[in-house]
Structure 1
């Protein structure tokens, strides 16, 4: 069995192994990481050989860590990274370049339509009807998008939302509310098969699926990094947040909203952001909660999006695509039957 894991912000970890009577044998670790002393490599190989093939990642990581010689140095990877690679090999996980990736950057649609398209396209990828896809959102309306499990009345101030022209919609993924002012955020969705994140914890998969955008931001001069569980951040403040939904048919939805030019004063009138939440994040002013990409790059929103598409294409060989008429039709039906209904929007009152 063969497994690979590109450590977010680090190096590639590669493992090859056999399984005999539920025991790992012939384990071999490789990669472009740095490891000192040389004998640490054989120590890691020996530690993994003989371990049960149904162990969890924590067990593999603990065995690797315990086997390291005193003073060993690991650069670009960690025992946890080795454990993820092992789990991915055992689960027969796929890699980014195993797929014919598509990029969609199409016409503006309503916020509810975006959420419906997320459900339709993820379902199609899970069923093998669509290639894995990156879709960048465009819209000409403002909206508050609340998480699947959030309380409507606790998150949104209806008077503030009406005053500033924000529609209120609920997405199918968990996580927190996002204030999506038209022209002021960059949002994208990834529709991927579950095999791509096989063997990873939810936390590992978040960083793994967004590493390409971290690389994009770094290429623009932003010292961006991933802050578990789901935040993209920089020393100057939070940039964006991710959410994820895994479908029973094998499709995975992963979507991200990053602030381009957020008005923090409007945000606190539209969202019910309490002092406890701000204090927990070490922030004294709501206006500083989200650090816009505009101030850190000096680039237009369109220029940043073009760099994102360029980076994704260079990394994974993606080609341009569009939403089909049948996909739009299916999404329109979901907008009417689900995403604009009071029963869905207020399903957690």
Structure 2
């Protein structure tokens, strides 16, 4: 068995072992991490020896932690990271380099069509009918996009949304409401085979799939970090958030919205964000939590997107792609049958 796991923001962990009569035998952990003292590597290997092959990541990490000698220091990796590598070895896990990637960045379409394209393109990746894809969104109107399980009335002020020209739509992934103002957000979707995140917990997969964008943001001077469970942040404040959906076709949809520019007062008029439960001071604090990319980089939005596309291309060898006519037609039909219906929007009133 051979498993690899690149720790988001950290080092590569590699593990090789045999499985004999249902237990791990002859394990060897390696990687470009730092570990002191040298003898601690033997502690880790001995901790894995004889563990049931069916052990979950929590059990594996606990065994490693218990076996490490006092004073051992792990830099760039952790017991949890080793456990993920072991679990990935036990499955049909793949890596970024196993795939041919495409980047799609086309002209603006309505918000509901973006949501339908997410479902259609992710499904096709899972079915093997499309290459794994990174797609950047362009907006032809502003919208509040609420999570799959959110209540419309609890998240959106209808008068404020109407006054500022924001449509309200519901996506298929969970998470919180996002105020998407045309021209002032950077939104992208990743459509990946589930095998890419095989052996990872949901939390691990968020960090893993967000790692490339942190490199891209750092390339334009943003000190970006991942904040569990699903935030991208900097010392100046939150930049954006991710949401994820596992599809039955065998694909993972992972999409991210980052604030390029933000009108805090408008946000407070459009989103409820629990205003009834917050003091005036709390509302002001909530508005200041988000620090947009424009203030941190000074770059035009288009240049920010180009830098992110270049980072992804440099890392994974991606090539330009398009949405095929039949994919677009399927998405348009899905808008009519699902995303534009009152039943879908009001499924959680």
Normalised by the shorter chain, which TM-score bucket? over 0.9
The equivalent residue for 1:245 is: 245
Give distance in 1, aligned partners of 2:143 and 2:310. 28
Cα distance change, pair 277–109 in 1 and its aligned pair in 2 (3 A): farther
- Give a deviation string over 1:290-316, Cα, whole Å, max 9, x none: 110000011110001001000001101
Structure 1 unaligned residues grouped into runs of 5+: none
Matched, 1:36 2:36: yes
Give distance in 2, aligned partners of 1:304 and 1:231. 18
- Give a deviation string over 1:19-44, Cα, whole Å, max 9, x none: 11110111110100011111111110
CA contact (8 A) 1:265 1:286 kept: no
The TM-score with structure 2 as length reference comes to: 0.97
CA contact (8 A) 1:226 1:232 kept: yes
SS at match of 1:210: helix
The equivalent residue for 1:209 is: 209
Give distance in 1, aligned partners of 2:30 and 2:10. 14
The equivalent residue for 1:130 is: 130
SS at match of 1:150: coil
Give distance in 2, aligned partners of 1:174 and 1:274. 18
Give distance in 2, aligned partners of 1:184 and 1:62. 45
The equivalent residue for 1:71 is: 71
Measure how far apart 1:197 and its partner are: 0.3
CA contact (8 A) 1:278 1:286 kept: no
SS at match of 1:258: strand
- Give a deviation string over 1:126-166, Cα, whole Å, max 9, x none: 10000100000011200000000000111111111110000
Cα distance change, pair 58–110 in 1 and its aligned pair in 2 (3 A): same
Superposed counterparts of 1:6-17, under 5 Å? 6-17=6-17
Give distance in 1, aligned partners of 2:67 and 2:244. 35
Cα distance change, pair 278–95 in 1 and its aligned pair in 2 (3 A): farther
Measure how far apart 1:248 and its partner are: 1.1
CA contact (8 A) 1:283 1:289 kept: no
SS at match of 1:273: coil
Measure how far apart 1:289 and its partner are: 2.6
Give distance in 2, aligned partners of 1:60 and 1:31. 18
Measure how far apart 1:217 and its partner are: 1.1
Measure how far apart 1:92 and its partner are: 2.4
CA contact (8 A) 2:275 2:283 kept: no
Cα distance change, pair 278–199 in 1 and its aligned pair in 2 (3 A): farther
Give distance in 1, aligned partners of 2:27 and 2:264. 52
Measure how far apart 1:274 and its partner are: 1.9
Superposed counterparts of 1:1-349, under 5 Å? 1-275=1-275, 284-349=284-349
The TM-score with structure 1 as length reference comes to: 0.97
CA contact (8 A) 2:230 2:241 kept: yes
SS at match of 1:254: strand
Give distance in 2, aligned partners of 1:282 and 1:214. 29
SS at match of 1:243: strand
Cα distance change, pair 318–276 in 1 and its aligned pair in 2 (3 A): farther
Moved more, 67-76 or 189-198: 67-76
Cα distance change, pair 46–129 in 1 and its aligned pair in 2 (3 A): same
SS at match of 2:103: strand
Cα distance change, pair 277–327 in 1 and its aligned pair in 2 (3 A): farther
- Give a deviation string over 1:231-265, Cα, whole Å, max 9, x none: 00111100000000001120110000000001111
CA contact (8 A) 1:116 1:332 kept: yes
Give distance in 1, aligned partners of 2:205 and 2:77. 16
